[in-house]
Chains A and B, each alone.
Chain A
Amino acid sequence: GENVEQHPSTLSVQEGDSAVIKCTYSDSASNYFPWYKQELGKRPQLIIDIRSNVGEKKDQRIAVTLNKTAKHFSLHITETQPEDSAVYFCAASIGSISGGYNKLIFGAGTRLAVHP
């Protein structure tokens, strides 16, 4: 079945450094790729997303790149801060439901720790 692989599972960086998380997906029909941040005990929050007609998107310190040919996409966080510490999940849309809404399949998550 369709799946999303995410690496690394844990990532530790010093404050101010950059962090990169990579995901690959299997469904060539996937066309929507969101990234979620989940702090301990809290709900996942959408931080950035990208659609298949775009190769890169940036929002302040966060950027996402998409390579449709290789079926992988990445999250880049620059100038990391301690408050960036959380679990980050990538996801890819799969299948098709009436009304154009797609299911999302999530990666396994990356636990990011930013040390002061």
Chain B
Amino acid sequence: GAVVSQHPSWVICKSGTSVKIECRSLDFQATTMFWYRQFPKQSLMLMATSNEGSKATYEQGVEKDKFLINHASLTLSTLTVTSAHPEDSSFYICSATTGQGLPGANVLTFGAGSRLTVL
């Protein structure tokens, strides 16, 4: 089946530094990847849609200059948290679609997630 690899699985950084998280589709090409944020015991909040070869589409309230998304290839999307602050501490999860299925449908495969702690 489809596999999505996400790295790092956890990272601790100092306030003011930037952190990059990678999301790779290992055995399929993903023209579209999604980035979610999950707070403890809460749901997955969609942050942005990452499209290969074009700019990401951000959800309302998500700062695009804060969360930089790059989808440079059909198998790799990166999320960079710039000038991280403690309130950015969270669990970030990427997901990708194989594109198979009926038009208008999305079968998502999730990465394992990255737990970011900003000191």
Contacts and interface: CB of A to CB of B under 8 A. Distances in A.
B42 A49 contact: no
B32 interface: yes
A36 B42 CA distance: 14
A26 B106 CA distance: 18
Contacts of A42: 112
A111 B41 CA distance: 9
Contact of B104 (A93, A106, A108): A93
Interface string B71-93: 00000000000000000000001
B93 A31 contact: no
Contacts of A34: 106-108
Interface stretch (A13-21, A60-68, A95-103): A95-103
Interface string A26-42: 00000110101000001
B113 A105 contact: no
A102 B106 contact: yes
A18 B73 CA distance: 45
Contacts, number: 73
A104 B34 contact: yes
Chain A binding site: helix, strand, loop or mixed by DSSP? strand
A109 B104 contact: no
B10 to A, nearest CB: 10
A104 B106 contact: yes
B111 to A, nearest CB: 6
A116 interface: no
Among B36, B44, B60, B104, the most chain A Cβ lie within 10 Å of the Cβ of B104
B107 A49 contact: yes
A103 B105 contact: no
A46 B112 contact: no
Given A32-B106, A46-B108, A51-B102, A1 B49 contact: no
Interface of B: 31-32, 34, 36, 41-46, 49, 51, 57, 60, 93, 97, 99, 102-113
13 contacts: A32-B105, A34-B106, A42-B112, A43-B112, A45-B110, A46-B107, A89-B43, A101-B97, A103-B46, A103-B106, A104-B106, A104-B108, A107-B43
